[in-house]
Amino acid sequence: EIRLQTGEPYLIFSDTVNRAMPQHQRELGLSVRQSNLCSEIMLHTGKDHLGAERTAVCCLSSVNAETFLEWRDHPTFIEDVMRFLDNVLEDFILRAPPEMANAVYAAKRERSVGLGLMGFHTFLQQQNVPFESALAKSWNMRLFKTLRRQCDAASRTLAAERGPCPDAEDRGMMERFSHKLAIAPTASISIICGGTSAGIEPIPANIYSHKTLSGTFAVKNIYLERILEQTGNNTPAVWDSILENEGSVQHLDFLSQDDKDVYKTAFEIDQRWVVELAADRTPDICQSQSINIFLPGDVDKWDLHMLHWQAWERGCKSLYYLRSKSVQRASHAGGETHAAVDMSGVAKTDYEECLACQ
Angstrom distance (rounded) from CA 90 to CA 206: 41
Three-state SS letters, the chain: CHHHHHCCCCEECHHHHHHCCCHHHHHCCCCCCCCCCCCCCCCCCEECCCCCEECCCCCEEEEEHHHHHHHCCCCCHHHHHHHHHHHHHHHHHHHCCHHHHHHHHHHHHHCCCEEEEECHHHHHHHCCCCCCCHHHHHHHHHHHHHHHHHHHHHHHHHHHHHCCCHHHHHCCCCCCCCCCECECCCCCHHHHCCCCCCCCCCCCCCEEEEEECCEEEEEECHHHHHHHHHCCCCCHHHHHHHHHCCCCCCCCCCCCHHHHHHCCCHHHCCHHHHHHHHHHHHHHCCCCECCCEEEECCCCHHHHHHHHHHHHHCCCCEECCEEEECCCCCCCCCCCCCCCCCCCCCCCCCCCCCHHHC
Q: What residues act catalytically? A: 36, 38, 40
Angstrom distance (rounded) from CA 280 to CA 315: 9
Q: What is the average per-residue pLDDT within 24-31?
A: 98
Tell me the average pLDDT of the chain: 91
Looking at residue 343, what is its pLDDT? 43
Q: What is the average per-residue pLDDT within 281-305?
A: 95
Angstrom distance (rounded) from CA 201 to CA 203: 7
Higher-confidence residue of 256 and 337: namely: 256
Task: Quote the radius of gyration of the chain (alpha carbons, Å).
Answer: 21
Higher-confidence residue of 20 and 211: namely: 20
- Read off the pLDDT band of 326 (50, 70, 90): low
Q: Residue 323 forms beta bridges with which residues?
A: 294
Q: What is the average per-residue pLDDT within 208-214?
A: 77
Give the CA distances from residue 260 to residues 22, 157, 227, 231, 255, in Å, rounded to whole numbers and listed in that order.
42, 45, 11, 14, 7
Percent share of the chain, pLDDT over 90:
82
Q: What is the average per-residue pLDDT within 28-47?
A: 96
Statement: residue 284 has pLDDT above 80: yes
Per-residue pLDDT tens digits for 340-357: 344 444 444 344 555 556
The model's pTM: 0.91
Statement: residue 317 has pLDDT above 80: yes
Statement: residue 335 has pLDDT above 70: no
Statement: residue 2 has pLDDT above 90: no
Any idea which of 29-33, 100-104, 297-301 has the lowest mean pLDDT?
297-301
Looking at residue 358, what is its pLDDT? 59
From-to residues of CATH 3.20.70.20 in the chain: 1-192
Per-residue pLDDT tens digits for 154-177: 999 999 999 999 999 999 999 999
Give the CA distances from residue 132 to residues 264, 288, 296, in Å, rounded to whole numbers and listed in that order.
9, 22, 18
Statement: residue 330 has pLDDT above 50: no
Q: What CATH number should be reported for the domain whose range is 1-192?
A: 3.20.70.20
Percent share of the chain, pLDDT over 70:
91
Give the CA distances from residue 275 to residues 96, 243, 294, 310, in Å, rounded to whole numbers and listed in that order.
38, 28, 11, 7
Higher-confidence residue of 327 and 137: namely: 137
Q: 168 φ, ψ to 5°?
A: -70, -40
Q: Residue 11 forms beta bridges with which residues?
A: 319
Statement: residue 337 has pLDDT above 60: no
- Read off the pLDDT band of 338 (50, 70, 90): very low
Statement: residue 4 has pLDDT above 90: no
Per-residue pLDDT tens digits for 149-160: 999 999 999 999
Any idea which of 40-49, 146-155, 201-210 has the lowest mean pLDDT?
201-210
Per-residue pLDDT tens digits for 64-81: 999 999 999 999 999 999
Looking at residue 353, what is its pLDDT? 56
Q: 337 φ, ψ to 5°?
A: -110, 25
Statement: residue 332 has pLDDT above 80: no
Looking at residue 340, what is its pLDDT? 38
Q: Quote the distance between the C-alpha of residue 95 and its chain's center.
A: 29
For residue 98, cis peptide bond before it (omega within 30 degrees of 0): no
Q: Which amino acid is at 151?
A: C
Among residues 274, 315, 300, the alpha carbon closest in space to that of 1 is found at 300
Per-residue pLDDT tens digits for 215-244: 787 889 999 999 999 999 999 999 999 999
Using an 8 Å Cβ cutoff, are 55 and 45 in contact?
yes
What sign does the CA torsion over 22, 25, 31, 35 have?
Answer: negative
